[in-house]
Amino acid sequence: MKMLKTFPDKCITCHNCESACSKLYFKEDNAKKSCVVINEEIYPPEMIVCNQCGTCVDVCPTLALTINTQGVVILNKSLCIGCLMCVAACPINSMRFTENVYNPFKCIACGICTRTCPAEAIEIVTA
């Protein structure tokens, strides 16, 4: 299974990962539209990102969520009807949604964030 591994002790809360993620997928620098979330209200910071556990896959009524050959949970937007049941079911709040975007979104372990992290606090692993 391909997934992001986080090291909160190393995180310097620069939020570069959020910028990189939202710029890639939403073409804007907006933490609300990032699949990885850095919560610096606690210390060490909380790094919220999908662990590809598949809970969301089991609740999706249209089978829009599937697990690909690399073990990554993928959303097929053309099947998604935006019910957000997956958002409620996610045990670690890593299925994300934001205003004016009808489909939820999530980390697909592309690794763009790892390349912008100056502290090596986040990396792609194959478990």
Partner 1 sequence: MNRKLIAEFKYAPAPVIRGYNKRSLYINLSTGEIKEKPVTELMIDKFVGGKGFDLYLMWHAIKDETKWDSPENEICISFGPLCGNTSYPGSGKSIVTTISPLTGIPVDCNVGGHFGPYTKFSGWDAIELQGIAKEEVIVYIDGDKGVVQILSAPDEEINSHIFAEELIKEFADSEDKYQFVSVVSSGKAAENVLITCLNFSFWDKRRKVARLKQAGRGGTGSVFRHKKIKALVVKYSGLKVDSNNPVDVETLRKRGLKLHQEIEAGDSTQNRMRQVGTAHLMEIMNDYDLLPIRNFKYGQMPEAEGLHSREFKKLFTQGMPDGCWFGCSLSCCKAVDNFEPRTGPYKGKKVCVDGPEYETAAGCGSNIGVFNARDVVEINFYCDTYGVDTISFGTSTAFAMECYENGILNKERTGGLELTWGNADAALELLHQMARGDGFGVIVGQGVRKMKQIFAEKYGADPDFLQDIGMEAKGLEYSQYMSKESLAQQGGYTLALKGPQHDEAWLIFMDMVNNQIPTFKDKAEALHYFPMFRTWFGLQGLCKLPWNDIEPANNAETDEPAKVPEHVQNYVDIYTAITGKPLNKKTLIEQSERVYNFQKVFCLRMGKGRRIDDVPPYRAVGPVTEEEYLSRQDRYDKQLKEKLNIDPEGKSTTEKMDILRKYREDQYQQLIDAVYERKGWNAQGVPKIEHLQKIGMDLPEVIEVVKRFL
Residues in contact with partner 1 by CB under 8 A are 58-63, 81-85, 87-89, 97, 99-100, 102
Measured from the CB atom, the residue of 12 and 81 that comes closer to partner 1 is 81
CB of 99 to partner 1, least distance (A): 5
Measured from the CB atom, the residue of 48 and 60 that comes closer to partner 1 is 60
Host H or E run for residue 100: none
Type of residue numbered 38: I
Q: Which three-class secondary structure state does DSSP give residue 84?
A: coil
What is the C-alpha separation between 47 and 14, in angstroms, rounded?
12
Measured from the CB atom, the residue of 43 and 102 that comes closer to partner 1 is 102
